[in-house]
Structure 1
Amino acid sequence: MAQILAPSVQCQLKSSRNPTTATPLTSKMWNSLMVKQNKRGGTAVKTSAKFRVVALNSTVNRVEDLLNLDTKQFTDKIIAEYIWIGGSGIDLRSKSRTISKPVEHPSELPKWNYDGSSTGQAPGEDSEVILYPQAIFKDPFRGGNNILVICDTYTPQGEPIPTNKRHRAAQIFGNQKVIDEVPWYGIEQEYTLLQPDVNWPLGWPVGAYPGPQGPYYCGAGAEKSFGRDISDAHYKACLYAGINISGTNGEVMPGQWEFQVGPSVGIEAGDHVWAARYLLERITEQAGVVLTLDPKPIQGDWNGAGCHTNYSTKSMREAGGFGVIKKAILNLSLRHKEHISAYGEGNERRLTGRHETADINTFSWGVANRGCSIRVGRETEQQGKGYLEDRRPASNMDPYIVTALLAETTLLWEPTLEAEALAAQKLALKV
């Protein structure tokens, strides 16, 4: 492990099976898990530390046994964890229900509802919001046939509520022109781990700073890598769940990590990123570490957190695709403001023109240039086909919005010839 994390109660209890390791347990934990000592005549009955450890281990073992129960041999019923996006557009909510038998497709699951007034998505006098199951993943926490269910949200009349961005994305990805181009996405989700209570990155001295950036990116060692066990646990959980995770790495700022999802086609990209985010929230919850997707969690000479989105179409991946990529870049330049407004809250704190970003107000592109809005890989240039990387999205972007907007701008939206000519001249692009 790269460092000793601040573990949750559950993690600490697991380490206490050997009586000699029980001393780190806090008095608060003892009080919550043990019967208070009886008092006789005002004098507490003395109980040995050894007895307390045995009693605690017995309690923990029973809880762990129940958590690890495989119910398949006793019942066909499964647990489905319904997951949806809350009122902020970035917070994830979930609740569980029993399903009579294992399922293989979201259409086999019932719709459900929740109190939208408690998530900022409905008024108290008409608070019911309906959950429509849309994607299923295996549940790495409960195991067995239990599942995680990605849902989107509707009024009782069947209208998508304002925070339901998946509905609009599904419409765009359902357009035949988009379907024919088989849009691929590779999404690089950066995130930052924080110490609980102090809102300061994991591994940093509280109220102080580590050494400057340089050794941390993809680094190894206790003084360079903070939170590797969380990243690895998340990686395996995603693979178990069936999420199309393609890699992970430590990022430039210490305490910051990245995972990649893809290549994924169409609406699947958003489903998989949201499911991966949910797993990360649950894993950090268990570890007692705070997860933030803030695009600039620490001000100053530190990298921000983005969600770079790699994108290609069938035409881009075929011979002559570099010309198609350049045409897509032209369109993206003409809708720069629309994209920036949809690419995440607080992104202006990150897109400053420093720390491997382009200035938020200026559109640019380049080959192998990480200081541009759009980067084209050196291999794409050499082969004359491939993909582009949109480096503008913030770490807290909604993948449904970003993926759908890229498809809409490059495949469905057509600029005027005059605007296209001016943009080509400005960007020195020959399509």
Structure 2
Amino acid sequence: MPKSYVVGVGMTQFLKPRGLVDYPEMGLEAATKALLDAGISYDQVEYAFTGYVYGDSTAGQRVLYQLGMTQIPVINVNNNCSTGSTALYQARLLVESGVVDCAMALGFERMERGSLGSKFTDRTNPLDHVMGVMAENRGFEPTAPGAAQIFGNAGIEYMEKYGATATHLAKIAEKNHRHSALNPYSQFRDVYTLEQVLNAPKVFGPLTKLQCCPTSDGAGCAIVASEKFVKKHGLMDQAIEIVAQEMATDSPKMLSTSAIEWAGADMTRRAAQQLFKKAGVTPNDVQVVELHDCFSANELVTYDALGLTPPGKAHSIIDSGDNTYGGKFVINPSGGLISKGHPLGATGLAQCSELVWQLRNWAGERQVPNVKYALQHNVGLGGAVVITLYKKANNAKSEPRVGYNPAVEARNVTDEEVQKASAKVNQRSEILSARL
């Protein structure tokens, strides 16, 4: 079967949504960094998938025209919180099909302050069915965010059925905040005690504010290439193979009376089972995981759904410490969504960036030892999940191309770096350059 590789990644620092940086600037920074990481320019990209949830159509073109108007196809992607990984999925699929040898997956988001809400009140909400089922079975609190109620109820049901506690949920958040202190891209880098997490303001059920991801501004990017492209450009030493990748949508279980299923657990189960079967490995072969912890409750139920623990035993790896450094898995070394932030379109590509750096052994103080396989899980309600398994193409050591280690230092790009990454053929027009 044809192989695909991530040969370049880049991301911006995730910021509080204050409108200080607009999406063209964020997207340009992430794309430039990924191109420089791969050692190529934009004219070598044959296809681009650009992901965002909140924005007008063709925003992807608005970002990428800054690197050159090369007339390649640019497809704009919106798949809720799994948007970034959906763009990556499309890029990987196109490369492995043999249609192109190099594709870009770019995700960015400029968000508003406060909890997520529907932008359109004059048409059907895509989550109306699950919201209705939840209201019938668990009630609905008008003052609490809808997403917090869906994921919070999933955690409550897991506690009721299997004996997990509110303390287990708080320990997940404590871990992720602690991990984020070592990540220069994180929106928050403060470390909190377990007591501080438990005593933070309540959001819904057992979930406190410190167990919920914030809204964020940011961007991430990955360059996906074929084996032929990797060898031609001498990229094998830094290339990260996409061993397997699966995408799934909801089963009818989402509309059952189970709160765990409202959060999309069954699509995660399906995608994970297919992925590990295709890869010929098991969850026990994985060392590091970037997992969609939009709320601590979702991290808990996802341990189970991914097969990291036996059914009903998710809280066991929290008690044993097998979800952090020194344990069986290191889950969310980046700090996860809870602390790193969650700009919807960028999240999946930020997860990809972290795992690429981990597999290259670039992650400095947050480096997971002896990483062979890295697992990524990105989910969006409504619903879609993308799960990806990575490994390094070979055991050779690779060094950053940009004069510093981007895994441990978050720098802005310079004008010279943008020019270096820009298309050499069909360069930016003078009119466009003047306007930008």
For the criterion TM > 0.5, the same-fold answer is no
TM-score using structure 1 length = 0.26
Give the structure with higher Rg (CA).
1
